[in-house]
């Protein structure tokens, strides 16, 4: 039967039905926006860079204070605060920690800038060094029978503040890890205390532990 008389007969001029062509071009996949964790990594790097750039300015290595970077960091914090409602506890802790560090740096920078503008710049540059911290992760923090929460927090803060990848655990998990490590090392070596410190190796900050103060009679 002639194809013109039979409308059901196939014709090479007929258009394929929607979805019938196997080789039809596909719409390009949408690129996913970076998640909160990745945005926090960027914020962490920018906060560290802001601290470095302000120190360079006060030491005379930069002609102007890094106001553009400071404004960008502040905008990042405000944006991330608006996206933190459905965030995990770890990401919320990281954001709060980064915001606290930025506020601390910001207050210090503003005070030093005021000193510079009021003619107290030389005194600011030659101010006496700050008093040593009670817990210094670089020098080492010692734990014994009891893990001091403040000491554990100082060690944790040293880890999250170090350049590079930010730890993917929260403070409570880190404190539990320290307790287990102290118990295991004391049991294995017979020591009374265990020292933890942060050391830089191959451009990365690592947590080191060693037994100290052997128990009496061991």
Q: Does residue 170 sit within a domain?
A: yes
Q: Tell me whether residue 148 is in a domain.
A: yes
Residue 29, pLDDT above cutoff 60:
no
Judged against a pLDDT cut of 60, whether residue 7 lies above it is answered with no
Domain boundary among 125, 154, 175: 125
Whether the per-residue pLDDT at 80 is higher than 50: the answer is yes
Same domain, 83 and 148: no
Kindly tell me if the per-residue pLDDT of 84 is higher than 70.
yes
Decide if 60 is inside a domain.
Answer: yes
At residue 133, the pLDDT reads 53
> Which of these ranges, 31-45, 56-70, 191-205, has the smallest mean pLDDT?
31-45
Q: Which domain, by its residues, includes 102?
A: 36-125
The answer to whether residues 147 and 202 belong to one domain is: yes
Q: Are residues 79 and 110 in the same domain?
A: yes
Answer for the pair 147, 182: CB distance below 8 angstroms, yes or no: yes
* 68 and 95 fall within a common domain: yes
- Tally of structural domains, the chain: 2
If one compares 109 and 84, the residue with the highest pLDDT of the two is 109
Residue 207 lies in a domain: yes
Boundary of a domain, candidates 125, 158, 185: 125
Residue 61: pLDDT band (50, 70, 90) is confident
Are 103 and 51 in a shared domain?
Answer: yes
Average pLDDT over residues 108-123: 73
How far are the Cα atoms of 43, 92, 103, 112 from residue 171, in angstroms, in the given order?
19, 12, 20, 32
**Whole-structure pTM value:** 0.43
Long-range contacts of 201-208, Cβ-Cβ distance < 8 Å, separation of 24 or more: 203/164, 204/164, 205/158, 205/159, 205/162, 205/163, 205/164, 207/155, 207/159
Phi, psi (5° rounding) for residue 110?
Answer: -60, -40
Res. 217 pLDDT band, cuts 50 70 90:
very low
Tell me, yes or no, whether 20 lies in a domain.
no
Among 23-32, 78-87, 134-143, name the one with the lowest average pLDDT: 23-32
Domain boundary residue, one of 70, 90, 125: 125
């Amino acid at each position: 039967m002639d194809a013109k008389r039979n409308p059901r007969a196939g014709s090479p001029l007929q258009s394929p039905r929607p979805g019938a062509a196997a080789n039809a071009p596909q719409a390009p996949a949408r690129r996913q926006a970076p998640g909160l964790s990745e945005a926090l990594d960027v914020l962490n790097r920018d906060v560290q860079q802001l601290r470095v750039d302000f120190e360079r300015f006060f030491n005379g290595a930069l002609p102007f204070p890094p106001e553009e970077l400071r404004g960008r960091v502040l905008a990042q914090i405000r944006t991330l605060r608006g996206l933190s409602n459905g965030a995990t506890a770890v990401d919320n802790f990281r954001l709060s920690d980064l915001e606290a560090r930025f506020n601390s740096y910001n207050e210090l920078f503003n005070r030093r800038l005021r000193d510079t503008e009021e003619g107290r710049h030389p005194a600011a540059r030659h101010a006496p060094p700050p008093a040593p911290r009670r817990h210094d992760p670089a020098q080492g923090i010692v734990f014994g029978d009891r893990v001091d929460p403040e000491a554990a927090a100082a060690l944790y803060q040293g880890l999250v503040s170090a350049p590079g990848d930010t730890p993917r655990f929260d403070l409570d998990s880190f404190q539990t890890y320290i307790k287990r490590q102290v118990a295991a090392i004391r049991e294995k070596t017979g020591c009374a205390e265990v020292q933890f410190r942060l050391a830089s190796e191959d451009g990365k900050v690592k947590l080191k532990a060693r037994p100290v103060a052997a128990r009496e009679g061991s």
